[in-house]
Structure 1
Amino acid sequence: MVERRVLLWAISIAIIGSIICLEYLWRPSGAIGGRFSCEGCNLVLISIDTLRADHLGAYGYGRDTSPFIDELAGKSIMFTNAFATSAQTAPSHMSIFTSVFPRVHQVSNANAMSMEGPEFMCLGSGLVTFPEILDDAGYTNMGFTQGGAVEGEIGFARGFAFYGNNASIDDAIRWVRQDADGKFFLFFHTYKTHAPYFPKHEFDVFSDRSYDGPILASEEELLRIKDGRKMRKSEKYFSMVDPSDPDDVRHLKDLYDGEILEVDSWMKHLVTTIRQEHPDTIIIFTSDHGEEFYEHGNYGHQHVYNEVARVPLLIWHPRVDEPIQVSERVSQIDLAPTILDFLGIGVASQFEGESLASVIEGGRKPDGLFIDFFGRRALIRGDYKLVADEKGSGLYDIGSDPSEVGKISDEPLKKLEMQARLLLREVGYFFGRKLIAYDDCRTMQANPERLEWLRYLGYVD
């Protein structure tokens, strides 16, 4: 027994030592935009909050939830294995904007409570966002969002000429038609597919009309609930669900799919307008994270399993004529350097990601994806995925078991190696974030209107 422990200890030291050498000697290669070069092109980034990839037809879903998005995918660069950096809206989006992981930028949905209410960590001045870089390059940046966890004041509005926290799809389309001029970047974000799910009647086509369970049918019903407890509105919504009842879980998915169908109609109007009015525009379609329907015992987005971590990622490029499918596993940390590479603009030295241009051409990406969410972390290398939380860790083969149903128990050394790599990541981020200036923007409180919206979405009590 002692010899076995000594052997494992020695192997651990050897593994950690080799990892340190590899991690610190390797540096990302330079950008090679090549045929993807699109200097002077406009840019549109569309983020559909809480949209899981495997509920879209283009990603293999059996229902017709996304006819237009599927059509767009058939004309785009489609990443079939793209992963978010977090299971939360604010950190995931800020990683897209800054190309650094959440452990570095430290932005979260609501990281603390004070006497005045929930506090949000703002983005410190030590980090730059890619919209700021676009602004310096002469772009007019316009943000049309629903605020909440992407509130402009958190740091998302940096570099924008306009950043709306209460904007609609119609506002975005109107601006494209009437006011867009010169080089522009448009960011559109919506919570339409976020719980609670109340699709409009004409899009609620997947629900079983005979369902007579307890799940609420309208927002009005939800707002009428008075139970004397301080409960988030989305928590009230899910409290009506019996996870052991397949009819309840199925009905939740039916409603969620109806929301996706409604968003698909929005995308048709927005993308069609952009391509008609401004054909020289790169359009990126993605999500910040997916959604759980009790696959691993949780609802919403509370963990880092694939139903939450895997996201859709499409890039429609005006100068690429044929569709391209990329199966290599990529992270949203790579979006900002890819965007700037395509536009012929230099990247920031802080960027942890790298341009995906070579991967799109069939090259390989350096192995290792990191996902982080309130002590629940995941590391992906090849087909192996290590999921760790407060209860322990489990190793999965997501190549043969993408739903992460069964843990691997017969490869202890592989698990040990993955644990060592995850630990090294965390140690590196602990020391790395000390170099970033936060003191000019530590925390902020949400105003009353935002606070009510955040409660509705389930982000704060």
Structure 2
Amino acid sequence: MKIILASLDTLRASRLGAYGYRKPTSPHLDRIAGEGALFERAYAADIPTEVAHTGIFTGKVGLTTGVVSHGSDRMQLPKSTPWLPSLLRSAGFTTGAVDNLFQLKEWFARGYRYYINSVGDKRWIDGRTVNELAMPWIEQHKDESFFLFLHYWDAHTPYLPPETYVESFYDAGRDPFDPANKSMERAYNHKAYPFFKHHHYDLIGQVTDSDYYDALYDAEIRYLDDRLRELDEHLEKLGIREDTLLVLFGDHGESLTEHDIYWDHCGLYEPTVHVPVIMRWPGRIPAGRRVPGLVQQADLMPTILEAARSASPAGIDATKLQSPDGMDGRSLWPAIRGESDGAHERVYLSECAWQAARGIRTDRYKFIRTYDAGLFDRPPRELYDLSTDPEETVNLAEEQAELADRLERELEAWIAGKLQGREDPIALQLREAGLPFRRRIELILSEAGLTWEDWRRDPRREVFDRAVRR
């Protein structure tokens, strides 16, 4: 048995054909979905990258592990916490990864016999590099039972796809630098501008058309899709495609100007928390299965462990593949077999990076409680009826105060049940260190000779650029 778990970083579900998108971003991903199971309402319970992947490899949400914040030096994962690659390796699987999450936290290298760090001279990691490192490893270990984690970053900022990929998504007759187009002004004058100027905008140029950034994001997905096709063709060439459980997921999505978020992944809104999850295992997962109910990323660990136990490959000790106690995730196999519509009646959401908030996603509603809005203007409570307002544009928290109160009480009860008397790690982070990403902005501003108070009073691109030139 071979298991390939692939993280498609920053991939938004609604931007894939299999999830209803009409532009040609994902022909091969759509094909894989047609050959296996697609989870229509899969959610990242914890965002962004660091906390999302911690949940995936532990089967536990952030309140259970204590890892609730991205980019904070305060976050630690005890070595005693059961870890998916470690469990698989102890059972006899050869474990490998092509990944660079070790750059964030040491625990992401746990459990691997072979950890190939994909980081290079540049921040941006090309999916072609991931394949160049992964394919020889797969060929070398094709006769073994293995678990391989792959981390593709192509859809993450900065969007730098090959020029030929952009043509399908942006009209050749349009000029993305047309000075008459003012659609980028809100992004350029947002409080987060100092961060994105360096990490994104300066790398692409003085674009004036916001549609061009959306097109670049789509082009990146299409480029990623081609890299996944190459990976699949490699499995076919080696004769192991039929024996491979392939699990593809987005660690979080991406907001493309929605809710005052410009090509980034914060906010507990659908563009960021609704992610693709697609699984294929020929002969074991029914082709074309679409799971309509709610699932979350923590469900992947018990699902993979159950698959490994059921396959009983030679040389593997299945007794070491039992799901650890205390997991928040639930096996998705009943949903895959059509015995249930999903795994959860509701998913609890959390973030602590650019802003700090928690929420609940039920079958119909989304409730969000914001503790610290950071660089954004957010009401303390938001309530959306996703059945009539899928883009979350009408906040019903005041109009339907009774429902908002009930959902907030439920959220508070869930938090208290998880904490069992411990201090809330988000509250601790905010009190002792503040929002991690606000600290980044403050550092950038200080290097330009500005204070946070200066910038908050007048967050205009010209103000920051003038300070930098000085």
Q: Same fold (TM over 0.5)?
A: yes
Q: Kindly, what percent of the aligned residue pairs are identical?
A: 28
- Aligned pair count? 375
Distance in 1 of aligned mates of 2:306 and 2:380: 40
- 1:293 maps to 2:249: no
SS at match of 1:141: strand
3-state DSSP of counterpart to 1:193: coil
* Contact 1:275–1:281, Cα closer than 8 Å, also in 2: no
Correspondence for 1:209: 172
Note if contact 1:152-1:163 (Cα within 8 Å) is conserved in structure 2.
no
In 2: Cα distance, 1:427 partner to 1:418 partner: 14
Instruction: Tell me, yes or no, if structure 1 residue 368 matches structure 2 residue 346.
Output: yes
Q: Give distance in 2, aligned partners of 1:429 and 1:66.
A: 38
Q: How far apart are 1:389 and its partner, in Å?
A: 1.1
Distance 2:327 2:47 in 1: 21
Alpha-carbon distance between aligned partners in 2 of 1:376 and 1:72, rounded to the nearest angstrom: 34
Whole-angstrom distance in 1 between the partners of 2:295 and 2:160 = 32
Q: Which residue in 1 is equivalent to 2:229?
A: 268
Q: Is the 8 A contact 2:71 2:104 kept in 1?
A: no
**What is the TM-score of this pair, normalised by structure 1?**
0.75
Q: Is the 8 A contact 2:51 2:62 kept in 1?
A: yes
1:59 partner letter: Y
Residue in 2 aligned with 1:325?
290
Cα deviation for residue 49 of structure 1 reads 0.6
TM-score (norm. length: structure 2): 0.74
Contact 2:294 2:344 in 1 (8 A): no
| Partners of 2:364 and 2:424 in 1: CA distance | 33
Structure-2 residue corresponding to 1:139: 93
Considering only aligned residues, what root-mean-square deviation do their CA atoms show, in Å? 2.9
Contact kept in structure 2, 1:99 and 1:334, CA below 8 Å: yes
Contact map agreement 1:97 1:131 (CA 8 A) in 2: yes
Q: Which of 29, 37, 44 is equivalent to 1:69?
A: 29
What do the CA deviations read for 1:303-343 (whole angstroms, capped 9, x no partner)? 11000000000010122353200010111111101111121
**Does 394-403 or 57-66 show the bigger shift?**
394-403
The superposition leaves residues 246-282 of structure 1 with CA deviations (integer Å, 9 ceiling, x where unpaired) of x722111100111111100000011222244212110
User: In the alignment, does 2:174 pair up with 1:196?
Assistant: no
> C-alpha offsets along residues 398-439 of structure 1, whole Å, 9 cap, x if unaligned?
223221122235432221111011112222333376899xxx
Determine the C-alpha separation between the residues in 1 that align with 2:160 and 2:302.
37
Distance in 1, matches of 2:77 and 2:330, equals 21
1:130 to 1:155, Cα distance in 2 relative to 1, 3 A: same
Q: What displacement does 1:152 show?
A: 7.6
Q: 1:334 to 1:233 in 2, by over 3 A?
A: same
Check the 8 A contact 1:341/1:355 in 2, yes or no. Answer: yes
2:141 is the counterpart of 1:163: no
- In the alignment, what sits opposite 2:135? 173
Find the counterpart in structure 1 of residue 200 from structure 2: 237
- Distance in 2 between the 1:135 and 1:54 partners? 35
SS of structure 1 residue aligned to 2:360: strand
**Which whole-Å CA distance do the structure 2 matches of 1:124 and 1:67 have between them?**
41
Distance verdict in 2 for CA 1:415–1:233, change over 3 Å:
closer
- Paired with 2:281 and 2:417, the residues of 1 have a C-alpha distance of 36
Aligned to 1:343: 308
Q: Distance in 2 between matches of 1:372 and 1:78?
A: 24
CA distance in 1, matches of 2:282, 2:162: 33
Residues 327, 59 of structure 1: alpha-carbon distance in 2 compared, 3 angstrom cutoff: same
The answer to whether residue 278 in structure 2 is matched with residue 314 in structure 1 is yes
Match of 1:184 in 2: 146
Which one scores higher on RCO, CA 8 angstroms, separation ≥ 6? Answer: 1
The letter of the residue matching 2:90 is D
**Aligned partner of 1:431 among 409, 415, 420:** 420
Instruction: Report the CA distance shift for 1:49/1:252 in structure 2 as closer, same or farther (over 3 A).
Output: same
Cα–Cα, structure 1 residues 432 and 335, in superposed 2: closer, same or farther, change >3 Å? farther
Structure 2, unaligned runs of 5 or more: 120-129, 179-191, 310-320, 372-378, 426-439, 448-470
Q: 1:143 to 1:241 in 2, by over 3 A?
A: closer
What amino acid sits opposite 1:254 in the alignment? A
Q: Which moved more, 1:317-326 or 1:191-200?
A: 317-326
**Structure 2 residue identity aligned to 1:298:** I
CA distance in structure 2 between the partners assigned to 1:305 and 1:45 by the alignment: 25
Retained in 2: the 8 A contact 1:141–1:185?
A: yes
Give the C-alpha shift of residue 60 in structure 1: 0.6
Using the alignment, how far apart are the partners of 2:233 and 2:294 within structure 1? 29
